Amino acid sequence: MARVFITGSSTGLGLMAGQLLAEQGHEVVLHARNPTRADDTRNALPTAVAIVTGDLTTIAGMRSVAEQANAHGRFDAVIHNAGVGYREPQSTKTADGLPPLFAVNTLAPYVLTVLIQRPKRLVYLSSGLHRGASANLDDLTWEKRRWDGAQAYAETKLHDLMLTLAVARRWPDVWSNAVEPGWVATRMGGPGASDDMDQGHRTQVWLAVSDDLAAHVTGGYFFHLQRRETNPQAHDVNLQDQLMSACTRLSGVSLPD
């Protein structure tokens, strides 16, 4: 039996992953943005050990979620599932002056990785859209460019893979991997999504808890339990370190070796 924490797990793939883990006999701690969603999450998965509550659009919220998660002890695995979609308007800013899309998709997994007690396995949610993105580390928060929500989303999913690989490189005692869940009909994906919803959550669960030797790896990128090609920029160590430095500067927390 493993103990697993899943961010962004009040609905969609995060909740589905939690339900599957619970069915398999694992202990699951879920996360919801606010108390109302937490109540809905508890009703959807009453066997969850706990529901952590916090808004990942703010650095204070990220710190609170990490603190609450740590109160439950060290986890065997953490699945960084929380994310927002490309429809977020540029004009919206968080309390920290950041685009919510960047705050939730890029900065939050970084901050939570640093602040949550180091687990045995880390799983990050990326997207196939990352292949068409550039890291654009000189304009992470879109101050210099005209806003393009789809491109901004793709960039954050490249950042997630870069974080995955940076952690794999710096923390050899942790299995750090990324997942492409596919375009599935979640609230974010929309009703027109064409990929298999039932497969969208299974790979992250497999990477988090499986005894299958194929899941005992680090620095991998998977789609439906199989490795898949990635954007070469993600593997550039210099770019990874630049992204980690930028996240340190913006959040005030540093990823240790």
User: What amino acid positions are annotated as catalytic residues?
Assistant: 153, 157
The backbone torsions φ and ψ at residue 123, rounded to the nearest 5 degrees and listed phi first, read -130, 130
| Residue closest to 159 by CA, chosen among 87, 96, 242 | 242
Quick check: 129 and 153 in contact, CB under 8 A?
Answer: yes
Question: Looking up tokens 């997994």, which residue turns up?
Answer: 109
Side-chain-facing half-sphere of 190: CA atoms under 13 Å: 5
Q: How far is CA 165 from the centre of its chain?
A: 13
Residues 6+ away with beta carbon under 8 Å from 36: none
Pairing type for strands 121-125 and 175-179 reads parallel
Separation of alpha carbons 241 and 121, rounded Å: 21
Side-chain-facing half-sphere of 11: CA atoms under 13 Å: 12
Quick check: 27 and 3 in contact, CB under 8 A?
Answer: yes
Structure tokens, 242: 């630049």
Largest CA-CA distance found in the chain, in angstroms, rounded: 49
Separation of alpha carbons 177 and 52, rounded Å: 23
- SS3 state at 150: helix
